[in-house]
Amino acid sequence: MAPTRITACSVRDVRFPTSLEKDGSDAMNKAPDYSCAYVVFSTDSDLQGHGITFTVGKGNEIVCHATEVLSKMVVGQELKVIYGNFGLFWRSLTSEDQMRWLGPEKGVMHLAVAALTNALWDLWAKIERKPLWKLLVDMEPEQLVSAIDFRYMHDVLTPQEAVEQELLEKGYPCYTTSCGWLGYEDEKIKRLCKEALAQGFTRFKAKVGADLKDDQRRCRLLREMIGPDNVLMVDANQRWEVQEAIDWMKGLADCNITWIEEPTSPDDILGHQQIAKALKPLGIGVATGEACQNRIMFKQFLAAGAMQFCQIDSCRLGGVSENVAVILMANKFGVPVCPHGGGVGLCELVQHLSMFDFVSVSGSMENRMTEYLDHLHQHFKYPCVVKGGRYTPPQAPGYSIDMKESSLADYEWPKGRAWQELIANGTYTLD
């Protein structure tokens, strides 16, 4: 029987102790524990919708609570109401009278919107028995457009323009961040570079921003390992002031850097614009977006020439609908979309968005690549598959987000088996 209604929602606090190996470490997040609010919507059939939003460590508790509160607006709803005009339904979640004040459309509430609407998109794709990217690609243009809230975007993009897109199908290029976490020793960087090259990666990203001399040594090491022709990007995770970013990057320019990611505050549009202008003669672009709050902020970054690479995030924005909106807008501005994948489950999700972008929107892979990290994929039922430095189009119905029951049992905070062991041996405390 096809589902007709959402009957219940569960939200679980799932965390992984990634800080123990310094996986995910950068100049601002020195010891992150990759975590997510894990949502399961039950229906009046066997089908369920699974969704996540990504956070780091203790804050996950707050995100889970926000998600639970907001989920009450979804439970009991008929699917024909939700999917009949998904854009409108999305707007009802972001604009709820008593909670809108907490955002609007940013921060914890928006992370909660992402978890819930990612689960609804996953359910939709499962109902249609398609992987999410194929669901999006196969949609009638009018239906796709009705799934997006165009509010505050009409000055740069109207629904009519969004339908003029090209259709193609192919695997998608990616880059790896896994060789260049800030907390890794040189020997580990060398070993990981060799392994990544052997696997066919040609694009690499390193973390920078803590110490210039150290960055110069590490970037030169990376450049030496990957050779002169492969692509190297760096990521400062919001560490610098504007002028500091410009000066620092001049000090790394000999390493032939394609982009500097998040050089300064993710809210500083004019600062990014200034950095982009100063670094253009060095051939270095500015990439940002993983902490960009919503489509309205993206609009301004794009219009101001403040981002040369647009890094959408499947969980920071309000789920698939808002990501599709930003993909369409970036296309209008001729800025390549290179999604952020640094976090648990984000690679599984963003691959779908990149494939939709290629098939239905940009029709181009030039200057485009999706982030790939070699962490935590073993916890997913349908992990992303990367071969020869490219994502292979997923085939399982849904948004690739279902986690294995065993992983949920092990890593749900704090009762999961893995956490109980770490708490018992004193590695972690409950506070």
- Binding flag, residue 235, ligand LWAPGFLV (CB under 6 A): yes
Q: Phi and psi at residue 309, in whole multiples of 5°?
A: -135, 125
Residue 207 a catalytic site member? yes
Q: Is 216 in the site for ligand LWAPGFLV (CB under 6 A)?
A: no
Segments in 227-318 forming alpha helices (H): 242-250, 269-279, 295-303
Catalytic residue among 126, 340, 375, 379: 340
Residue number, 36 or 236, with CB nearest to Mg ion = 236
Query: Which residues, in sequence order, are CB contacts of 211 under 8 Å at separation 6+?
Result: none
> Active-site residue among 126, 134, 207, 379?
207
Residue of 35, 55, 177, 370 that binds ligand LWAPGFLV (CB under 6 A): 177
**Contacts from 125-128 at CB under 8 Å and sequence distance 24+?**
125/397, 125/398, 125/399, 126/47, 126/48, 126/49, 126/397, 126/398, 127/2, 127/3, 127/47, 127/79, 128/397
Is the Cα dihedral 336, 341, 347, 350 positive or negative?
negative
Write the CB contacts of 99 (distance below 8 Å, at least 6 apart in sequence). Answer: 69, 70, 109
Does residue 371 bind ligand LWAPGFLV (CB under 6 A)?
Answer: yes
26 binding partner (options Mg ion, ligand LWAPGFLV, none; Cβ < 5 to 8 Å by kind): ligand LWAPGFLV
Using CA atoms, how far residue 314 sits from 76, 102, 115, 117, 348, in Å, is 25, 20, 9, 10, 10
Question: Is there binding between residue 32 and ligand LWAPGFLV (CB under 6 A)?
Answer: yes
Residue 311's Cβ-side half-sphere holds a number of Cα atoms within 13 Å equal to 27
Whether residue 130 lies in the annotated active site: no
Contact of residue 126 among Mg ion, ligand LWAPGFLV, none (CB under 5-8 Å per partner type): none
Which of 9, 36, 56, 162 binds ligand LWAPGFLV (CB under 6 A)? It is 56
- Interacting stretch for ligand LWAPGFLV, rule CB under 6 A, among 24-32, 164-172, 399-407, 419-427? 24-32
Stretch that binds ligand LWAPGFLV, among 26-34, 42-50, 114-122, 128-136 (CB under 6 A): 26-34
Q: Which range, of 21-29, 101-109, 315-323, 388-396, touches ligand LWAPGFLV by CB under 6 A?
A: 21-29
Under 8 Å between Cβ of 367 and 259: no
Q: H/E element holding 7?
A: strand 6-15
The residue among 23 and 357 lying less far from ligand LWAPGFLV, judged by its C-beta, is 23
CB atoms within 10 A of CB 92: 15
Binding site partner of 177, from Mg ion, ligand LWAPGFLV, none, Cβ cut-off 5-8 A by kind: ligand LWAPGFLV
Residue 292 CB contacts under 8 Å (≥ 6 apart), including other chains: 266, 298, 301, 311, 313, 316, 317
| 215 scored as a contact of ligand LWAPGFLV (CB under 6 A) | no
Q: Least Å distance between CB 255 and Mg ion?
A: 18
The residue type of 186 is D
How far apart, in whole angstroms, are the C-alpha atoms of residue 383 and residue 373?
12
**Which of ligand LWAPGFLV, Mg ion, none has residue 24 at its interface (CB below 5 to 8 Å by kind)?**
ligand LWAPGFLV
Among 9, 12, 16, 26, binds ligand LWAPGFLV (CB under 6 A): 26
Q: Using CB under 6 A as the criterion, which residues of the chain lie in contact with ligand LWAPGFLV when the complex forms?
A: 24, 26, 29, 32, 56, 177, 235, 237, 290, 340, 342, 371
Catalytic residue positions, numbered: 207, 340
